[in-house]
Each structure stands twice: as C-alpha cells, then as structure tokens.
Chain A
Amino acid sequence: MPTQQPSDDRIALLQGTLDLLILRTLLLGACHGQGVARSIQRQSEEVLFVDHGSLYLALQRLEDKKWIRARWGVSENNRRARFYELTPKGRDQLAEKTSQWNRLTEAMARILNAAGPQNEEV
C-alpha cells in the first residue's frame, strides 16, 4: 500500500501544533491549503512535515470553530482554489496559543537542559 514515510530528519507534527502553525501562516494573508502546507515546510526549512490529509481536516476544524473563514478564489497561476483567512476570533486565538506555546517550550527547555548533567553522572 502506498504510504508516505517522513524521511528521518523530518519531524511529524505534535498533536495540536498544526492548528497553531496554520493560524500563524494565515496571519501573513489569505492562502489556500496547498500554499499553507508548502509555507510551513519551507519556513521550517523542511524539518516539519505536514500530512496533507490532516491539514485539510485541521482547516475544516478551524473553519467550524469560526477561527478562519474560506471562500473559493483563483490562485496566481489561474487555478480555482479555496482560500482561507483569519477571522478576528482567530487572531485572538493565535495570540493566546502562541503565548501558551512559548511558555510550554520554555518550561520544557528548562527541564530538559537541567536534567542533562545528572544523566551524565550515571
């Protein structure tokens, strides 16, 4: 069965982080799904890998929550595509989620870095 496996140096997204990345990407302006995927991969310098199936489900989820809204439009290379943009509610959420994320990563980093020397003693 054809399945795509992320190559070793790429990281599959953690649960829940995809929403944040989508919101952040859309902060730069309206974009279609494929563009969002490419943008995330490009900006992470190909470290993050976006499963496209999950991406569209996430987009739909955010749309259902009214954090983003969508309309059909035409891409720069003249293809019909569904464009997503942030709603005011989405903007608020982005700010909140970003600060949450930062607190989380800082805390994680503190723990992980502090644990290092102890482990080496073993």
Chain B
Amino acid sequence: MFRRRRRSESDFAEEVRAHLELEADDLRQEGVSSDEARFQAHRTFGNVRAAQESFYLRGRWAWLDRLLRDLRFGLRSMRQSPGFTLTAVLTLALGIGANTAVFSVMNAVLLRSLPVADPQRVVYLQDSGSPNGTGTIDSHETFSYAVYTALRPPNGALSDLMAVGLLSTDKIGVRIGSIPEQAEADMVSGNFFSGLGVRILRGRGFTPQDESTNASVLVLSYDYWTGRFDRDPNVLGSTIFVKGVPFTVTGIADQGFEGVEPTHSTDFWIPLQNRLEFNVLGNPPEKGKLYQADPTWWCLRLIGRLAPGVSRQQAIARLQPVFEHASRIGLGNPMPGEHPVVLSVTDAKNFGGDYADQYGKPLHMLMAMVGLVLLIALTNLIMLLMARNAARQREFSLRLALGARPAELLRQLLTESVLLVLLGGALAWAFAVLASHVLARWALIESSLAPDRTVLLFTCAVLALSAIVLGVAPFRTAISGGAELALKTSAATAHTDAGKSRLGKSIVALQMALCMVLLVGAGLLTRTLVNLRNIPLGMNTTGIVVFGLNPQSAHANPQLARFYQDLRTRLRALPGVESTAVSSDRLGSWWSNNSDVMVDGKHGDAPDGSTVLVRMNDIGPNFFHTLQVPILLGREFTDADGTSEHHVAVVNQLFAQTFFPHESPLGHKVNDFTIVGVVANHKYRSMDETPIPMAWWDYAQGPGEGGMTVEMRVRGADPLSILPSVQKIVAQLDPNAPLIEPTLQRQQFERTISQQLLFARLAEFFGLLAIVLVATGLYGTLSYRVNRRTAEIGVRMAIGARRGQVLWMILRDSLILTAIGVVVGLPLAWLTGRALASSLYGVQPLDPLTYLLSILGVALVALAAGALPALRAASIDPLQALRTE
C-alpha cells in the first residue's frame, strides 16, 4: 500500500474550529469579554490557513504537489493574458533562438573538434612555407609524398600519420547507375579511419594493404549513404565508377564524420591511388610524374595522431630533422638565403586555420550583437513583467493578506517565468535549427552547422539565466504593495513610486542605446555589402553560365584540346548560346595559379627589385570575347594558336604597366611565350581583390588540364535553363562526365563575398529585431504609464490642458528617453565601428550617413511607439477619467 486512507482536510478544519471555540470558552471563563475572547483565541492560534496548508501537504510529495499547483496557476494566468504571453514567448524565442543559431555556427567553426576518438591527440601538420621550387595547394598545409613517406615510419612522435589527397578543386564525376553525377571525394592513406579512430558503421574501412596495392575500394560517409542511397544496406559490395574507374563499396563511416575538408562534407573516400586519373587535383603529370613520384608537388594534407605520452613539442622535436631532410628531396641545394622549412602542428578542428581566422572575428562580433539583442529582449520582458505585475499588485497584496509568505510569491513568479522561458526556449530551439541550416546555405558551408550537445548546454544555460532574471526582477514590484494594498480600492491610489518608474526609464534609454549600436553595426555592414556588390568586375557577367568538366575519355593534350574544341562547337549550336570559352581555373572560385615569371629572359622584378607574383590561367580561344573583357592591344587566342608551334600569351594592363611602362609589350616574351595581346584589368579570384599582374596561356599549347571550366554566354531570362541540353551534349562526348557545380558567373563571384553577405544579412536581421523589440518595449512602457496617469491627465484636462499639450507631454517623454539613448549609444557605436573596421569595405567606421540614418531610425521608432499611447492619452475624456476614480 502506498498510502492508507487519509484523514480529510475538512475534519482537520473542524478540529481547528473546535480548538478556537474551546480556547475562547477558557478565555471567557478567565474573564475576557466575549468578542475579545474570540479574537484573542484566533490570535494565539496564529495562521489558521498556514496550519491547514501544512496539514494538507503532510506526507505528500510536497514539492511536486506545489510545483503542479504553481504550474496550473501559472498556465491559468498565462491564458488570462494571451497577448502578454504571446509577446513574451515570441520575444524570448527570437532573442534566445538568434543566440543559439549564431553560437551553433561559432561552435561548428571555431570550437568543435573533429568527431574522432580522443581529438586532442590529433593534429594537422603545418610548415613555415614550402621550399622554393615546389608547387603547393596551400603553402603551409600541404606536403610532398616524399615527406609523407619519410615521416610515416614510427619514430616515437606519432602513432599514426594519415595523408589526404584532394581529387579536384571542386567535385568529381562519379557514376552509380547510367547517369553521371558529381560527388565530393578524397583519397586517403590506408590508416585514415583506424588512425583517426573513426568507427566504420558497416563493412570495413581501409587497411595499409589497400593503400600499397591502390585497391579499388570505397567507404561512403553516413550522410552520403543516407542522402544518395537511402541507407540501403545492400550498397555494400556494389560498384561506383569514380572518374570512370570502377570501385567497390566496402564500408560506411560512422554518423557525424564528414571528412577533414573545411566547410565541405565529404561523400566518400578511396585509398591513395597512383594512376593518371587520380593525380592530385586531377592535374596532368608534371614531366611525366604523378604526385607520388614528384617531390616538387606539395599536395598532400597530413594528419598525425600523437604517440601516447608525447607532447606536441616533443613530437615536433623528433620529426623536424627527418622533415628537414625529406623537404630537400629532389630539390637540390637551397637557394642562397633560403631558410630550412620548419614543421609545426595545429588543432584538428572541423575548420582549418584559415577558416578560423576568416570567420573568427566576424563570428565574435556577431555573437556580441546577438548578445545585445538578447539583452534588449530580456530587459523588454522585465519591463513587461513589471508592468504586468504592477497591474497584478492587488492580487499579490491579497495573497499576502491571506497568509502567503513572500517566498511563496517568489516561487510563483519563478514558476511563471520558467514556464515562459520553457515555451520560448522550445520555440527558440526550433528556430535555431532552422536558422543554422539557412546560415550554412548562405555561407556556402556544406558541413553540418546543426546545434549539438555543446550548443544545447549553452542554450540551457541562457534559458536558466533568463528564467532567474525574469523571475526575480519583478519580485520587488510584486511585494512592494504589501498586504495593506489589498484594502485600498483604486488602481490610481496604488501609486507607482518614483524609483520604479526611473528604473523603467533607464531601461528604455539603455535599450535605445543598444538599438543604436546594432543599427550602426548593421548600417556599416550593409554599406560594405553594397560597395562589394557594386565593384566593377571588368567584364559583363550577364547571361554567363559556367560549369566544371572533368572528361574521363581524355587525360592530356592533344586529345583534351580536341575534346574541348568539339564541345564548344556543339554548345555554340544550341539555340540561345552566343559564345563559349574554356579556362583552367574558374573565375571567382578563390583558386588561382600564381608564380613569378621570366620577362624577356630576365627574372620579372618590380622597378624596386622585388619579385612580382603573377597570376595565371590557361584559357582557350574566344575567352575575353565571351566575357566581354576589352582587348586593349593586339588579339586574344584563336583556334589556330592551338595547333601552332609558336607559343603565345596574353597579359593584362597592369602586367604591361609593371614590366613595360614605356613601350608596347606586344612581341616581348613571358617565360617562353610571345605576348600577342593586352586586355583590361578584371577580377579573377574574388570580387574584392586588388588588381594584380596577370598572364594567360593557351591551354591547347600546354600539357592539358584534367578539370576545366566552360563559360558560355546565353540569351534569355533564365540562362541556367540551358543546362539540360548542355548535359545531353556532354553525355554524347563522355558518359562519365557530369556538369560540376553549374552556376551563373555572377553567382560564382558573389560566393567570394558570401561571408560578408552572411554577416551583413545577419546584422540587418538583428538590427530589425532590435527595432521591433525596442518599439514593443517602449510602446508597452508608455501605454502602461498613460494608463497609470489616466486620472492625472483627466485632472490636467479638466483644468484646461489642451489635447495637443497632453499629446506632446507623452511624446516628449519618449523623445527625451531616445535622446539620452542616442547620446549613450554614440560612443558605444563608435567602439563597435572600430571593432568592425577590418570587415568593412569602402566605408569608414565613422560613416556619417550610417550614423545619421541610425539616429533617424531610433527617433522614428520612438515616435511610432509613442504615437499610439500619446493619442490615447489625448483622447481621454476628463469626466470619465475622474469618475472611474
């Protein structure tokens, strides 16, 4: 039996009643007057209700019971004021949701380690800069195969050394059925999964034998298995054609592991291969050598797992001599003054060092901004709650008079705030999950930014804090009336004290200041974005469609050149296609080929003697015509150049000005190429790059590039609608080649400002959110004050105040608060602008227009939020106002 039959509460109540009568009888016998005796009996008994309450609670799970009653009461009082509840929950959901979303991005980009076993022991290898005479993908983060094989044998520093080779700068072509498609894939060393400690969900991972035999096996990522194969277990053992080569699916990696490429989510992995199709980045062999045989091609990313008990410093100390030796293999003696390359290691974060740098500062700024939004949201709610609790003061006073202890009122208020916060929090979480998806899309990040356990913890902490703040803050207002207030009859006599309304006013002023800061921040970032978007690209991108192509039927010139010539001819025949071109590096993709050059047989130096870095691209005929880049001198490449022995080059204006300031560059030589044309400067890697000397070679005269980008100018409102017909033509030429990342050239360029785009959009959103929050807060405060002052305003009007004066009286209040807010906000905004300075483009941190607009914005908010309460005050009928008194 859990509990035997209980004595009823009415029985207890009767016993107490009996007690009071008996006591009064005794007192009367002692000579106390009849009425006095009853009063005295009551007084000596003390709080009858409290005793009954205690009796009721005896033996129950008191806290649970109390909680349930508080919850019921809280829900009831929330139902009674749905407007308040809705406002409060939405405010919380937006405030906390925005914080959760930004934090989950920050967590994914800056904090989260790789989802591997014991991630603290896993490090990325870096160096101080690859030696002269080498080609790299990243001059600090990629190494030659020779370095990999030298560092691999155990020497006590690392228990495992993993290598990753990129197959392409973007996606590669795969074929699962008959239709080719694109996928994100890496080739990795045999110990990749075992060394990282990534669990293989089904099947098996790779072994060192797979690497040494270049086995044609393949491990799918969980997300790819889910998204592409619908989690079909029978996919194990099936064949996937990777760049036309059949591979057998042998394993599926654990959920959550998305590979080691920052911002990308890898679809599958294959063991390191040593064949033409799988040279790193799909490059043609350099002097007949693939990456494994070419010590000058520093193209592998290396990941180490520290041996047990070995610190990073110890590991580097042991590796450095081996590395130093290996770094010279195939390079001969160092140039005079060349320093040995120094090895270092860095945390194996989800996002590599560059990304952390690139996103770190803006993310911290954003976090600060959403923090301000939350602050505004919370202060808003506190004001709302204070106003509401002031209206409920008589309820609280009555409850105090009936014997409730202040602690019980506090508990009640806390319960109500917890309820609000829980509702708001649930909504916030949903909002954040959605927002992080949108953010990832905006920022063009494929890796999951979805909130994880760390984010949940963060959100719970914010929720708990909010609940406490919102529960405790209005408590003073609630009990300030005391029990006596219950006896008073009118709302107006129950007057707010001056201190409290001062607090309310300073909160509003503070909100105005914060709003000002957010608006200035948003304004600066928006102007930056506008400036970036208006940067002239030096070409006409209207109707330019670009896509990548990775033909499997040809791997070197002249077959490749013929393939592209054939393709261009067929594409031009499509209706709507005006012009087509090809290039090795895609414009606006961040990729570029950079090197120093020889000009007329001499090392190309600037007038001051420093080496000039020249950006290069291999292109086909008609490239500048297609992009409508003005040709200033000479000509561009033609089909005839492709078969000619006479090697030609085109340079840009800056190149000409740098190396031939006083003469025409036509006829001069860059490396072994004769300059035949000069084109106007235009953008290459990104939208915000500064002009740099450039040179173009004819791709048909080189060894041939594995992956090329095709540009075509298409007429019509929707140029991308041409893609299905393009796909058909490509399929006729090569059944294994999908169109890789087809898009508009303009969009491709906008990707290079996606980060600024993201931050500007978010800042605008937060600015807007701040305005809405501040407006509702101000509106609430003012209407509450007008309500309270109804009688006073009635009297004023009765003794001759005109409506205009009343209107102005209320509006003046709101404008004065705004003015104070602006004055306080200005220096804060100045600080914000300075912190943002490095993220700005073409706009000063003290941009007068932005400040002016922000002040105007805040003033408008104040006017708009003040107008309704002011009008209501002005329309008070003095007679009625006084009668309600």
For B29, the closest partner residue in chain A by CB is: A77
Q: 14 more A-B contacts (CB under 8 A) besides A3-B46, A32-B19?
A: A1-B401, A3-B47, A4-B46, A34-B19, A35-B22, A53-B50, A57-B51, A57-B55, A60-B55, A64-B59, A79-B22, A80-B18, A82-B14, A82-B15
Q: Which residues on B sit within 8 Å (CB–CB) of A56?
A: 12, 15-16, 19, 51, 55
Report A120 CB to chain B, min CB distance, Å: 41
Q: Inside 8 A of A51's CB, which chain B residues have their CB?
A: 46
Q: Which of B22, B44, B51 contacts A81 (CB 8 A)?
A: B22
Q: Which residue of B is nearest A56, CB measured?
A: B51
Task: Output the residue of B22, B50, B400, B483 with the most chain A CB within 10 A.
Answer: B22
A78 CB, nearest partner CB in chain B, Å: 10
Q: Cβ of B7: which chain A residues have Cβ within 8 Å of it?
A: 60
Distance A116 CA – B15 CA, assembled complex (angstroms) = 47
Residues of A within 8 A of B400 (CB): 1
Which of chain A's residues has its CB closest to B44's CB?
A: A4
* 18 A-B contacts (beta carbon < 8 Å): A1-B401, A1-B483, A2-B43, A3-B47, A32-B19, A33-B15, A34-B22, A34-B23, A34-B26, A51-B46, A52-B51, A60-B7, A64-B58, A81-B15, A81-B18, A81-B19, A82-B15, A82-B18
* Bound complex: CA A114 to CA B51 (Å): 42
A38 within 8 A of partner (CB): yes
User: Which residues, 1 to 59 on A, are CB-close (under 8 Å) to B?
Assistant: 1-4, 32-35, 38, 51-53, 56-57
Q: Does A75 count as interface, using CB distance less than 8 angstroms?
A: yes
List A65-113 residues whose CB lies under 8 Å from chain B: 75, 77, 79-82
Let me know if A53 and B45 touch, CB within 8 A.
yes
Q: Which of A52, A79, A82 is in CB contact (< 8 Å) with B21?
A: A79
Instruction: Provide the bound-state CA to CA distance between A30 and B18, in Å.
Output: 16
Within 8 A of A (CB), among B1-49: 7, 12, 14-16, 18-19, 21-23, 25-26, 43-48
Q: In the complex, what residue of chain A is closest to B4 when comparing beta carbons?
A: A64
Judged by a CB distance under 8 angstroms, whether B54 is at the interface is: yes
B residues 39-98 in Cβ contact with A at 8 Å: 43-48, 50-51, 54-55, 58-59
Q: How far is the CB of B496 from chain A (nearest CB, A)?
A: 23
Contacts of B54 in A (CB 8 A): 53, 57
A33 to chain B: which residues have CB within 8 Å?
15, 19
A52 touches B19 (CB 8 A): yes
Q: Which residue of A lies closest to B20 (CB)?
A: A34
CB distance from B74 to the nearest CB of A (A): 24
Q: How far is the CB of B752 from chain A (nearest CB, A)?
A: 70
Q: Which residue on chain A has the smallest CB distance to residue B47?
A: A53
Instruction: Report whether A52 and B55 are in contact in the complex, using a CB–CB cutoff of 8 Å.
Output: no
Among the listed A34, A53, A79, which residue makes an inter-chain contact with B46, where contact means beta carbons less than 8 Å apart?
A53
Q: How far is the CB of A29 from chain B (nearest CB, A)?
A: 16
- Smallest CB gap from A64: residue in B: B59
For A32, the chain B residues whose CB sits under 8 A away are 18-19, 22
C-alpha gap A52/B18 in the complex (Å): 13
A residues in contact with B58, CB < 8 Å: 57, 60-61, 64
In the complex, the chain A residue whose C-beta lies closest to that of B400 is A1
Q: Which residues from A are CB-within-8-Å of B16?
A: 56
Alpha-carbon distance A56/B21, docked complex (angstroms): 15
Q: How far is the CA of A52 from the CA of B44 in the complex (A)?
A: 8
What is the minimal beta-carbon distance from B429 to any residue of chain A, in angstroms?
43
A61 CA to B59 CA, complexed, in Å: 9
